[in-house]
Amino acid sequence: MADSREEGKEYQEPQGAEGGEDIIDDPILEQGAVVLRAYVIERINTEEPSRHVSSEHLGGRPNEQQDPHVKEVVEQLLKIADEMNRNAELQRLINQVQANCAQDIFMKVARNIFADGINWGRVVALFHLAYRLIHRALTTNHLENIRTIIGWVLQVIREQLHSWLVQQGGWEGVISGFSRWRTVAIVASVALVAAIVYYRKTR
């Protein structure tokens, strides 16, 4: 049932699946794209300060990261990510997912991250996976993959997370509803490890 609906959306909205540009007039999706790009930029600045990446490099608009609400949302998401970065098994598994992986592989891993529930930690797990793939695309000079990966994340947000995000009051819900982030991060790490292991077993 979900599959046929997803296939229909891929054909109806190829721009969102391919480009990742903010061509959609849905605030949840538009802010999701901005937050994801900000997340990627902040992680790169932390891990590789000499590599200068802007929103435009990732298909965004100049100065879109200046919104204080976006900065606060990203700050909270990065706290979870820092904890997830300590999971060596998770890093090893993510490194085995190819930067130019097919859409069905990415979607299979994403569906499994949220298979038994949604929370902010699992949203970060999705962003974390996308960041690793985008970072690899940057370092291997496969820049054409970047907007594709962002488009995939937007598709997951649209098809799996949209209703939940609306219930949270949008992306800013991570600020007010954010507690026990270390526990959330550990649970999300386990979910992402399980998702990648599942993908490798069913490949």
For residue 48, what is the DSSP state? Answer: -
What number is the average pLDDT over the span 70-79? 89
Please give the structure tokens belonging to residue 94: 């993510």
For residue 171, name the pLDDT band (cuts at 50, 70, 90): very high
Give the alpha-carbon dihedral of 83, 87, 20, 161, to 10 degrees: -70
For residue 186, name the pLDDT band (cuts at 50, 70, 90): low
pLDDT, tens digit (0-9, with 9 covering 90-100), for 113-129: 888 888 888 898 899 88
3-class DSSP state for residue 122?
helix
User: Which amino acid would we find at residue 139?
Assistant: T
Residue 154 has pLDDT above 90, yes or no: yes
pTM: 0.76
